[in-house]
Each structure stands twice: as structure tokens, then as C-alpha cells.
Amino acid sequence: MKQRRRERERARQQGREQERQGAQGARNTQNAQGAQDVQDVQNVPDAPGDEKDVAGVPGEEEVAGAWEALVATARRMVSDGLVVGTSGNVSVRVGDVVLVTPSGVPYDRLTPDDVTGVDLEGRQVLGTLVPTSELPMHLAVHRTTDARAVVHTHAVHATAVSTLVAELPPVHYMAGALGGPVRVAPYATYGTEELARNMLRALEGRTGCLLQNHGTVTCGATLDQAYDRTAQLEWMCRLWLTASSVPGLTPALLTPEQLAQAEERLRTYGQPGR
Ligand SMILES: [Zn+2]
């Protein structure tokens, strides 16, 4: 815990140093205003709310809150049956830090002291537990999209579908909530950059995809949104498997136009302003 505090303090100091240098540059051209900036930066208080303003370094309370939400999401994956044991993983971005589930630790044993975080290049900046082996997939999403949260599971129906088709047939309009028909990323060994590349291609224009013979990946603005998309994806896969397993009958599929219309309506679905 002390070690982590020191690390965070060091990161904050670095952030302040960068801002101070920036402010000094401004002073050279704008004299009085620049001097005021330096004054302000030197007086940065330690109150939690103020820390996040410093060069992408999140404050301690912000990190603690995001970690709590991440652990709750990871536990929910297990209790909802989307993964078994320590399979699957979750990440959430706070400033320029990506909090991730650690590798091989049962989610019900994670405590507030186990905060695990990396920067966008994958260098560990918080904690001592080894980050998830699927770090390349999580970082690929955080680096290239504006998503703030990523959920990866081995949900059984979705994984079954990933072994059968290259794209989940559009049996339901909820595919629109994921940006269109859900693609299956070609197989690659877990934890590799190759898998991360395949996944990114499958995710283009989508907020979810399947990984062949492996599982699901969804992303969103929040952990709840990313998780809900996983649940919807698993449900749609179960629906298609159920409908397509009736002997002698083939499920009707939605046309691209029908799907596009649903997607349009889904954009404004829900309570305005909530
Ligand atoms: Zn996996």
C-alpha cells in the first residue's frame, strides 16, 4: 500500500513538473499571466478532487472508486455464468491509467489494496499483481477508440457460435445496439498481439465481437454499458443457437435495412437526460 502511494505521489509530482514547465514556457511569452500560472501550479492542493487535473494522472479516490466498480463487474461475470473461475477479464480507463483485473486471482478475493493499473503502453504504474494476460486486447481498444471500459468473457453460447460462423446471423434487432451484425475475429493464441489485431478488425464500427473458439469482447463508455453489451451478445447467440437447432427449419434473418432502422431507434432509446 505504501509502495503504491509512493508511486502515485511520484506520478503526480511528474505531472506537476510537466505543468510547471509548460507554465514557465507561457510566462516567457505572456509575463504576468505566466507567473500566475506558476503560482497556481505550485499551490496545487492535495484534495482528491483536484488531483485528476494534473496531466492525466487520476486522483486516489477516483482510482479507488473505479477499482471497486471493476471488481464488482468481474464478480458479476462469474455470478451470471459468463465465465468460470478466473477466466475473462475487465478493464476501465481513469485518466491515462488503465485499471485491469490481475491474472489468475479469483475475483471474490480481490480487495481495495489489489489495485492493478498500467499506462497505455502497458507499463505497470499501480500495484504489484501481474495484470491480465489479455492486456494486449484491452490496450488495443483503449488506445484506438474512445471506449472507457472493456469486458472479455468466455460466455458459453457466444463461444459456441464463434466456432460455427464468421458472423453472428442477424436474428434480432439488438444487433443494432452493437453497431450491426457481430463479426467473429479469426483465432489466434490468447494474450498475443495477433489476437489483439484480429479483434480490432472485427470491432471496426462495432462495440462488440466474438473471438473464434475463445469468447466475447465488448466495450463501452462505462463498465455497466460494456457489461450490458456482453449480456446482450450472449443472449443473441443463445437465441440464434436455439432457433437454428429446430430440425427442418431455418430462422428468418433481418435485412441490412431492418437492422439499420433498429439501430437508428436504439440511438435514442431510454429516458432522455439519464
Ligand atoms: Zn479469454
Q: 58 pLDDT exceeds 70?
A: yes
For ligand 1, the distance from its centroid to the CA atom of residue 154, given in whole angstroms, is: 6
CA of 233 to the centre of ligand 1 (A): 16
Q: Check residue 211 and give its pLDDT.
A: 98
117 closest CA partner among 106, 104, 132, 107: 132
Rounded Cα gap, residues 134 and 113, in angstroms = 22
> What are the residues whose beta carbons fall under 8 Å from the beta carbon of 52, sequence distance 6 or more?
58, 59, 62, 95
Centroid of ligand 1 to alpha carbon of 249 (angstroms): 33
* pLDDT tops 70 at residue 237: yes
The pTM (predicted TM-score) of the whole model is 0.79
Q: Please name the fold of domain 60-267.
A: L-fuculose-1-phosphate Aldolase (3.40.225)
Using the mean position of ligand 1's atoms as its centre, give its distance from the Cα of residue 22 in Å.
42
Report how far apart, in Å, the C-alpha atoms of 261 and of each of 106, 172, 203, 232 are.
42, 12, 21, 18
Span 42-62, mean pLDDT?
A: 59
Which positions are catalytic? Answer: 134
Query: What pLDDT is stored for residue 270 in this prediction?
Result: 78
- Name the band, by pLDDT with cuts 50, 70 and 90, for residue 19: very low
Going by C-alpha positions, the residue among 107, 98, 103 that lies closest to residue 78 is 107
Q: How far is the CA of 42 from the centre of ligand 1 (A)?
A: 45
Q: In this predicted model, what pLDDT tens digit does every residue of 239-250 receive, in sequence order?
A: 999 999 999 999
Integer distance in angstroms from the first to the last C-alpha of the chain? 37
Q: Would the pLDDT of 223 be above 90? A: yes
Least confident of 90-94, 161-165, 257-261: 257-261
What's the 35 CA to ligand 1 centre distance in angstroms?
Answer: 52
More confident residue, 270 or 139: 139
